[in-house]
Amino acid sequence: MITTPAPAPVAGPARRSDDSLVGQLNAEWARLCAAPASAHAVARWRIPSVTAPADLELAVRRDADGVLLALLRRGQDGDALALRSVFQLMLGKAVRIAATHAGRDSRAALEQAAVTALWTVVASYPVARRPVKVAANIAMDTLRLTVDELAHQRHETPAGPEDLHPAAATDSPPDLELFELLAWAVGNGTVTHDEATLLVDIYAPPAGRPGGKAAAERHGLTWAAARQRASRATRRIADAVRADAA
């Protein structure tokens, strides 16, 4: 059964300090946080309880939409640190998305695809059109772009969240943003419980349990039918989020 969890924090940055892409991004973030100019930029944001970039994670836990929207608006007005802050707050999400594709390419290549997708989504996020459930929207869009890019690399026609598999061994927490969004959609009648369960099985199956085609079979569906049903449910959820924002 899908139940509404407590409000979930935005996926924090992966705490990696190696020479990987993620490690380099974390090192860059540390330098940005320490730069004197950052304190002046943060003061201009006027976000409650945020006096330094390091305060953002806690602020997002308290008011994810308010903080992320403020940063995205600033970023789209030319504030590079604001946009970089949203990217850093969601970096852990990109790492988790990459992990669901473990075995299809090297970790470095998978993380490159997910990180690139994340930056594209953050830089072009439609603030006016999608001002609610911002973290979930960014995560879902990043997932879709990553899947499409990996499908393109295999010279296949992108057709949705294909063949998503969890890493063989991972201690990543459940995707609470996705669960929260689906619980909201079930609660207001946008999708049925069965449709939400199918989406969970495809997008975020438990560790050690394959998604994609195997998830379809567990539901007694062909992979083509499962993809079609998941695609329709996803479109209804996106429409409902836009209507809720309006």
Instruction: For the full predicted model, state whether its pTM sits above 0.85.
Output: no
The DSSP code sequence of the chain is ---PPSPPPPPPPP---SSSHHHHHHHHHHHHHHSHHHHHHHHHH--TT-SSGGGHHHHHHH-HHHHHHHHHHHHHTT-HHHHHHHHHHTHHHHHHHHHTTTTSS-HHHHHHHHHHHHHHHHHT--TTT--SSHHHHHHHHHHHHHHHHHHHHTT----SSTT----SS--PPP-HHHHHHHHHHHHTTSS-HHHHHHHHHHHSPPTT---HHHHHHHTT--HHHHHHHHHHHHHHHHHHHHHHH-
Per-residue pLDDT of the chain (246 residues; tens, 9 = 90+): 444 333 344 444 456 778 889 999 999 999 999 999 999 999 999 999 999 999 999 999 999 999 999 999 999 999 999 999 999 999 988 888 887 766 667 888 889 988 999 999 999 999 998 898 899 889 888 877 887 776 656 533 333 333 333 333 333 444 556 677 777 788 888 888 888 888 878 766 666 677 778 888 888 988 888 888 888 888 788 777 767 655
